[in-house]
Amino acid sequence: MTTITRSAGNGGRSVLMRIAELRAWLFLVLLIVVFEVWARAAYGATFILNAYNLQSIAVFSVAPLLLALGQTFVIISSGIDLSVGFTMGLASVVAAHAAALAGDSLGLDALPAMLLGLGAGVVIAFVPGLVNGWLIAHLRVPPFIGTLGMYGVARGAAFLIAGGTTVPVSNEWFATIGNGQILRVPIVVIITALAVLGMHYLLSQTRFGQHTYAVGANRNAAIRAGIDVKRHTMRLYLLSATCAGLAGALYSARFSAGAAQAGEPLLLDSIAAVVIGGASLFGGSGTIGGTVAGAFVIALIQYGLVFIDVEPFWQFVAVGVVIILSVLVDQSQRRLAGGRQDD
């Protein structure tokens, strides 16, 4: 009789664990239903089945999702990167400057000038990534403090390069990359989707991903297992910065201008997407699929509230509530996992 009760308890706990793991997708479905019902009842219109709305939400999600992709690896490793917002801004102004310089001063055609600009935006992001990695891996600076310091450095550098203003760039290829479409799908969305697939493969199917989970779960055990934790940590922060650099370069392409503050409001969104997506701030857990769902949850909240004509300030309240709920679910999930181990 005891065995039957124990099996039933384990079965119920397994169901709750599965629900907790899928919380981001459940949030996403719930939001879609709520906004769809509201839109039909209030306006007699559809929300999610509208092609324009779908495109707008997807494009709106590009920058925070790219930041969140790199942030996912860092958080799984039990770290955090607070510098991604202004790393994105730095990449944005450098990309715009490089493209403008290549076209106006060097006389390059639009296509090579665009490629040079986008490449420069991504490459400049290596600098804060490498510095973050060195500080955290070799000097043992806490990730919160190290990346917070780089937040300030990247912010100052971005504004200095931009001269305190936006950096315009006139390049038709830039505009095409930023606002063009292929088969009615925005090019920036296609690029982001490819990045998502690449990051998913890297995290779930490679030794790099396995090492990331191992470092986050137990750093000392990872060292004893032969993982070069210092080198791996440097690669993680370089990866996070590279994602921010790509986000900044695409921002410049989308708006035909670089802006130092481009990523400033997106830092918390990037962390929130990862947390809502199921990653634990204690490290050792998280998926790219969950992060994608988390990013779309935030985008749906922000876009959906505007769509139903709710004051934009409620966006912050709604996102904050979802983050708190996600953390509470994560805590419950950890307790359930502990209980299952005790059984």
Decide if 137 contacts 230 (C-beta within 8 A).
yes
**Domains in the chain, CATH or no CATH each:** 22-338 (1.10.3470)
Tell me the DSSP string of 157-217.
Answer: HHHHHHTTS-EE---HHHHHHHH-EETTEEHHHHHHHHHHHHHHHHHHHSHHHHHHHHHHH
What is the amino acid identity at position 166? T
What's 226's DSSP letter?
A: T
Decide if 137 contacts 229 (C-beta within 8 A).
yes
H-helix or E-strand spanning residue 258 = strand 257-258
pLDDT digits (tens, 9 = 90+) for 226-252: 999 999 999 999 999 999 999 999 999
Using the CB atoms, write b or e for 177-208: b if 16+ within 10 Å.
Answer: bbeeeeeeebbbbebbeebbeebbebbeeeee
pLDDT digits (tens, 9 = 90+) for 286-312: 999 999 999 999 998 888 888 777 777
Phi, psi angle pair for 164, to nearest 5°:
75, 10
For the segment 86-99, the average pLDDT, to the nearest whole number, is: 95
Q: Is 11 helix (H, G, I), strand (E, B) or coil?
A: helix
Among 23, 25, 50, residue whose Cα is nearest residue 304:
50
Residue the block writes with tokens 């994602």: 243
Q: Would you state the pLDDT for residue 8?
A: 45
- Above 80 in pLDDT, residue 17? no
